[in-house]
Structure 1
Amino acid sequence: MRYLLRRLALFVLALAVISAVVFLALRVLPGDIATIMAGLNSPPERVAALREQLGLDRPLIVQYGDWIGGLLRGDFGTTMLTGQPVASVVGARAQVTFPLIILGLAIAIAIGIPLGCASVLATSARARGVYQAVAIIGGAVPALWGGLILILLFARGSGLLPILPASGFPQGGWQEPAQALASLVLPALTVGIIVGASIMRYTRSALQSVASTGTIDMAMACGMARRQALIRVGLRLAMPQLVSVIGLTFAEMITGVMVIENLFALPGIGSGLVGDLGHRDLIAVQSELFMLAVFFLVIGLFVDLTHRALDPRLGEDDD
């Protein structure tokens, strides 16, 4: 309970610091924020009206207090481009981004953990070299290049096996589940292969660390074969470390898929954030950045608590 309360206190403190950083970051940009949003060639009357509309003519502390008060009420502001609430816009984009991340992470886990285990179980130097080359090459492939290769192989209209959509998302969203899922397959494969190579390296490293402690030898002395000992004992002991890696990878992927969303023309959070920056909708960007920061912190808190639950030895530090 003490640990949970301490982590929650740090969580709230981190939120306060991040909100201040995000708020000030957009106000220390060169030039006047109202001029930037209105356009450099806008007349002074338009700039003055926009500054008054957004409350930019008031002291910074008052602007910050109004923004935080709105956040506490669930009001993240409205977009200048469409006049829609930022929360609803981000929610619609999340219906694309989060399924993409979940599907990509599932592919990465399905690739990375078995190949990581196989690389440790390999007995010949040649096989270990092949697994190491797969991990290095898979992790070194740029997301843009990997996505283009998959488009050339499997996309309708240009691929050798034209079986999947090359870009876009159904207008009806998940009301057309088959089409929506099909549109995410190629992007998820692109993400999954690259992230899977990283998870493969982490899995191999974690299993090798467990094996170096003599735990695997003890399991083999109890009658297990080496394969059984590594999978049933070693992988279980390495699981807390892998959960931490996978959880943090999940959080990082929300911005890591930005290139993929733009390549496949998906209306997700990353591409939407780039679009809002391009349209100079900085007030919406402010709230969107804060929402992303909250997501990162929530995932970090969840990973810490899960890691602690899987490895009770961490609780000994508080005794």
Structure 2
Amino acid sequence: MARFIMRRVALLVVAVAAMSGIVFVMLRILPGDVASAMAGVHASPGRVGALRRQFGLDQPLATQYVDWMTGLMCGDFGLSVTTGRSVSALVGARASVTLPLIAIGLAVALAIGLPLGCAAALSRSPRRRGVYQAIAIVGGSVPALWAGALFMILLGRGVGLIDLFPSQGFGGEGWAAPRQALASLMLPALTVGVIVSAGVMRYTRSALDDLAPSGYIDMAMACGMTRREAMLSTGLRLSAPRLVSVLGLTLAQMITGVMVVENLFALPGLGTGLVVDVGNRDLVAVQGELFMLTVVFLVIGFLVDIMHRVLDPRLGDDREERR
């Protein structure tokens, strides 16, 4: 197991290094000059030259990349062109909104999707299975913008039928006032969670349906379990690696999918910040934010791979380890 984890860590490091190069090159092969783009259309040549010297754009690309990677390893993402603040501080502040939003949204999705998926798989009535299938299709087809507006109308403070949760902003104090911060994330998390729960429901039902005619369920029932107990204990346990893969992909999709939700609820998260920085031509901040999102995606894949091995030790390079 230790050798397996070390190999995966080495692959993660190589992947992060490769993706850092891709992000760096992508922002420098854009049409036009990077300094001119950051300075704006009507900037003077002196302003463009000052920006080029300030951010080291007058250096060879190899030197720029080494300097950028050196800064990344020290936690320095550079300075924002528009605000003058550290990009690391900006990314950290925005991530403190986006990551809890994703975590709460995923918890809502699991709380809704797993029970409904299990109920759909256990149901023997064609009519009930049709109802569950309709719920999954409708839930997965609802646009995030429409769902967010609906929750805002129903539960938004000051505008909703039930004056329950804030509908705009994150609060001036942020996580210094945790109760207010959590309340600000509830409507966006419900929006994300309800939409994602439809996919969790479909995958759970499909995984359990595939195992229902297998010998594993029959063996569990032969040991004294009812069909329901066998499906919920043995079936879910055997389906865990498959569901972990689905949840990993879902989590990665949620990171980019919350962009619409953050803009709708005026949350200062990574999605909103990335849109603003692209509009302001703050390519230094965009470069740091894209790199951080890439690292998050790779770490999610790494954790899913480790979870697979923990849940089923037969997975992995067993043949290689025996050698």
TM over 0.5: yes
User: CA shift at 1:271, angstroms?
Assistant: 0.6
Letter in 1 for 2:147: G
Identical residues among aligned pairs (%):
62
Give the match for residue 100 of structure 2.
99
Structure 1 residues 151-160 or 243-252, which shifts more? 243-252
Letter in 2 for 1:172: E
Output one character per residue of 1:170-196: Cα deviation in whole Å (capped at 9) or x when no partner.
100112222211111110000000011
Q: 1:257 corresponds to which letter in structure 2?
A: V
Distance 1:28 1:227, change over 3 A: same
Match for residue 241 of structure 1?
242
TM-score by length of 1: 0.96
Give, in angstroms, the shift of residue 162 of structure 1: 2.4
Alignment correspondent of 1:172: 173
Aligned to 1:276: 277
Q: Which runs of 5+ in 1 are unaligned?
A: none
Once the two structures are overlaid, the 10-residue window that deviates more, 10-19 or 112-121, is 10-19
| Aligned positions of 1:34-183 closer than 5 A | 34-183=35-184
**Which segment drifts farther, 137-146 or 235-244?**
235-244
- Tell me how far 1:225 sits from its aligned partner: 1.0
Q: TM-score, normalised by structure 2?
A: 0.95
| Gap regions ≥5 residues in structure 2 | none
TM-fit CA distance, 1:317: 4.6
- Partners of 1:98 and 1:247 lie apart in 2 by 14
- Between the two proteins, the alignment pairs up a number of residues equal to 319
CA distance, structure 2, for counterparts of residue 116 and residue 264 of structure 1? 29
Please give the secondary structure, in 2, of the residue aligned with 1:77: coil
CA contact (8 A) 1:248 1:303 kept: no
CA deviation profile, 1:76-112 (whole Å, cap 9, x unmatched): 1111122111111111111111111111111000001
State the match for 2:212 in structure 1: 211
Q: What is the rounded CA distance, in whole Å, between the counterparts of 1:241 and 1:144 in structure 2? A: 30
- Deviation track 1:30-87 (CA, whole Å, cap 9, x = no partner) reads 1111111100111111111111111111111111111111112221111112211111
CA deviation vs aligned residue, 1:228-276 (integer Å, no higher than 9, x gap)? 1100110111112212222332233222111100000001111111111
Letter in structure 1 aligned against 2:250:
T
| Inter-partner Cα distance in structure 2 for 1:317 and 1:217 | 31
The CA distance in 1 between the partners of 2:291 and 2:175, in whole Å, is: 26
* Corresponding residue number in structure 2 for 1:191: 192
Aligned to 2:251: 250
Residue 290 of structure 1 corresponds to which residue in structure 2? 291
1:3 positional shift: 2.1
State whether residues 143 and 191 of structure 1, in contact with CA within 8 Å, keep that contact through their aligned partners in structure 2.
Answer: yes
Distance 1:21 1:213 in 2: 45
- Give the superposition deviation at 1:295: 1.3
